[in-house]
Structure 1
Amino acid sequence: MINLQPYSNPQYFLILLAALLPIIIGLYFGKRLKIYEALFTLVFLVLTFGGVKWQEGINLLLWLVFEFCLTFAYQHYRKQGKNKTSIFYLTVILAIIPLTVTKFMTTQPAGSVPFVVGFLGISYVTFKTVQVIMELRDGTIKQVDPGTYLRFLLFFPTISSGPIDRYRRFKQDYDKAPSRSDYITDMQYAVRYIFQGFLYKFIIGWFFGTLWLPKIEHQALAVGNMVGGLKLSWWVVAYMYCYSMYLFFDFAGYSLFAVGISYFMGIHTPMNFNQPFKSKNIKDFWNRWHITLSFWFRDFIYMRFTFWAMKKKLIKNRIRLSQASYLIDFLIMGFWHGLTWYYIVYGIYHALAIIINDIWLRFKRKHQKQIPHNKFTEAFAIFLTFHVVCFSFLIFSGFLSQLWFGWK
């Protein structure tokens, strides 16, 4: 059986575009072929999670049954007019248990786990489930339709690595076919995004990630002066820049593929990147980088913890409360990336960067007459933010573990 990694090779795109033709023709004539779309999704899920990855496919099926039962049990509970906080917390905890177990088990030494845990994309579909449960509790979602919910969770263009859509926005697109003129515009965007994705992932990303990064890594490990247990040289700086560029172009290219295929299917999956290296400060960066993930964390962790802490009067000072919320938000993001020291430090680093940025912005507002603001200061802000971000990616890469003896 063929096993294909999403957006990984030309064979995948040839099969994908051939299978998309009936959907494209149907939407062009104003009809959404829901039965064909369901079969189309099933085929590509089998291609992704079948063959040698059959255990991941079984895990996906088990996860789906569990989360479906959980979501609709909670919906039934809310329809009865009940809204106990303890039941809500229990439902959310149960929803994230499969993801938590997967993250923990995948950090175990190779060979110590005798079976495959989780599946490709478990984080992103779990975030969708938690979002729906929270919005059911808030009342912003009144009713979850089983068929639409199934397609929302298993929407194959985004299942492996996002972007993370919202149920209400997805349902609005899925419930109707776009007009012909709107769909022609969608196809124009789709073609543009896919070609841009090829440029990012398979050309620029290949240069940084495949051609240059291994050579720079080899040089950085081979030469350098020992400083505090770290082997440092200018090659480490080169690695930082090269890895940062590779990370952006590879992931942004993938996201463009996912958005482009979504547009071919008449679904306006939100963009995930918006020129992040033009950011003027670290908060601006997180409004431009992995946007759907950062907004998910903002809405469902940062804001909810802030409101909860205000209600419980845990921290009366609003500035201190905001700082605590940032720390919790990014610490959880760090743990989500993996139970490894450099992911956790990456999260703490960004929390501290945003806290320092907020302190600076308050100081700047207070002394705006004394602090110059012009194109040169803006250029310096972009330059500084870029380097703060690149250093965070050096931490995120785990390369410091290789440079630091005893932390391999």
Structure 2
Amino acid sequence: MHFNLINMQPYGNPHYFVFLMIGLIPIILGLYYGHRFKLYEIAFSLVFLFLIFDGDKWQQGVSLLIYLLLELLLTYCYLYYRKNWANKTWVFYLAVFLAIVPLILVKVQTAFPQAKIPGVLAFLGISYITFKTVQVIMEVRDGAIKEIDLVTYLRFLLFFPTISSGPIDRYRRFAKECDAAPKRAAYLTDLGLATRYLFQGFLYKFILGWFFGTYWLPKIERAALIAGTANGGLKLSWWLLAYMYCYSMYLFFDFAGYSLFAVAISYFMGIHTPMNFNKPFISQNIKEFWNRWHMTLSFWFRDYIYMRFTFFAMKKKLFKNPVRLSQAAYLLLFLVMGFWHGLSWYYIVYGLFHACAIIINDCWLRFKKKHKDKLPANKYTKWLAIFVTFNVVCFSFLIFSGFLSQLWFGWK
């Protein structure tokens, strides 16, 4: 059998898992017998990080090292300031801004190549390392984190199962588990879950994700473009609907499969990386959907943008009406989320769409609570709520896909 060492992107092909499982054997045996081989884990992670940035991606590896040095310097400078000087708000805002500047520049460079921003800033995983750094700076400011062990922090930032696309862990939770070995009974449970998540990930990403994304989606896309160019009217509408559902399924199974792989490998290593998806398509409203979809990201945005803005606005008395405050916070939250995905119009509209959907949903929930005695509540209304939410979400994914832009330029 021939193994392609060039294409070693995380969870991209079966070859990757062969090398991965071989490398995991000493870790699994050590944890089974109650020992955590920290030096081996560090070396193991560094080897797979090297494989990610090998070949023509070596510049991304250099960028990662430079970025790590900058983020470490920034984090420890702010920690020193917080421990030895006054807790000035403007210093905190400056630290957060400096932490996210490279990510902002990468997004600008992607959207506007003519800006000629040095490409050395971009590398795989910059978003998730930035999220982790900002989280630590904010919790240092709150006093929740008082000390940061350098080795633990580096392992947290460079934890390779999750480095490219999450899930997003929290430093304090990670630090509790990364040094000690779990008890054998608990680890055997983890091994069972890891195996289950691994095979579920294969089903999602390499079978269902392949069927919807590689096999079916291009055919629907071509048919929709042909109908759009010919001004097919009703025919285009049906193909567009098919594209919407097919792309939504592909997006879920591909990303959920990746996340299951990351969680599975983490469990093999005795680290309980949080789950990212929890049956999102059975949500009965859009707020519940965001409590089930890409949960670590939505909870990160909730804790570090929505709640922070809400507390700031309450302290400054920017809004007299708490309903208007929550609505403004939702608009800010999802606008930032849209910009984080990219500076293309469809990402921004996607964010605003979800903000409006949650605001409308909150209005409906308040109305429903006020008139609960007059409105029916049974299994039929439950399924109707799931159906409506599912279609609202799928339509948002159609916006997110950018396919509407492709159709528009085809018409032009």
Q: What range describes the TM-score normalised by the shorter chain of this pair?
A: over 0.9
Give the superposition deviation at 1:197: 0.1
In 2, the alpha carbon distance for the partners of 1:134 and 1:274 equals: 27
Q: Which runs of 5+ in 2 are unaligned?
A: none
In 2, the alpha carbon distance for the partners of 1:407 and 1:61 equals: 45
In 2, the alpha carbon distance for the partners of 1:407 and 1:292 equals: 39
Q: Which runs of 5+ in 1 are unaligned?
A: none
Q: Which residue of 2 aligns with 1:358?
A: 362
Residue identity matched to 1:279:
S
Q: 1:3·1:49 contact (CA, 8 Å) conserved in 2?
A: no
The DSSP-based 3-state class of the residue aligned with 2:348 is helix
Of 9, 18, 21, which residue of structure 2 is paired with 1:17? 21
Q: For 1:248-263, list aligned pairs within 5 A.
A: 248-263=252-267
In 2, the alpha carbon distance for the partners of 1:191 and 1:298 equals: 31
In 2, the alpha carbon distance for the partners of 1:267 and 1:261 equals: 9
In 1, the alpha carbon distance for the partners of 2:95 and 2:411 equals: 38
Question: CA, structure 1 residues 398+110, in 2 after alignment: closer, same or farther (shift >3 Å)?
Answer: farther
> Is 1:135 the equivalent of 2:139?
yes
Q: Which residue of 2 aligns with 1:185?
A: 189
Deviation per residue, 1:170-189 (Å, 9 max, x gap): 01111311001110100000
> Is 1:395 the equivalent of 2:399?
yes
Q: 1:27·1:266 contact (CA, 8 Å) conserved in 2?
A: yes
The count of corresponding residues between Structure 1 and Structure 2 is 407
> Is 1:329 the equivalent of 2:329?
no
Of 312, 316, 326, which residue of structure 2 is paired with 1:312? 316
Q: 1:189·1:260 contact (CA, 8 Å) conserved in 2?
A: yes
Q: For 1:3-402, list aligned pairs within 5 A.
A: 3-109=7-113, 115-224=119-228, 226=231, 232-402=236-406
Q: 1:3·1:53 contact (CA, 8 Å) conserved in 2?
A: no
In 1, the alpha carbon distance for the partners of 2:375 and 2:199 equals: 44
In 2, the alpha carbon distance for the partners of 1:182 and 1:287 equals: 27
In 1, the alpha carbon distance for the partners of 2:51 and 2:232 equals: 49
In 2, the alpha carbon distance for the partners of 1:213 and 1:390 equals: 14
Residue identity matched to 2:277:
F
Deviation per residue, 1:253-293 (Å, 9 max, x gap): 00000000000000000000000000000000000000000
TM-score (norm 2): 0.96
Question: CA, structure 1 residues 406+317, in 2 after alignment: closer, same or farther (shift >3 Å)?
Answer: farther
Residue identity matched to 2:64:
L
In 2, the alpha carbon distance for the partners of 1:231 and 1:301 equals: 43
In 1, the alpha carbon distance for the partners of 2:225 and 2:235 equals: 7
TM-score (norm 1): 0.97
In 2, the alpha carbon distance for the partners of 1:208 and 1:110 equals: 35
In 1, the alpha carbon distance for the partners of 2:151 and 2:120 equals: 28
The DSSP-based 3-state class of the residue aligned with 2:153 is helix
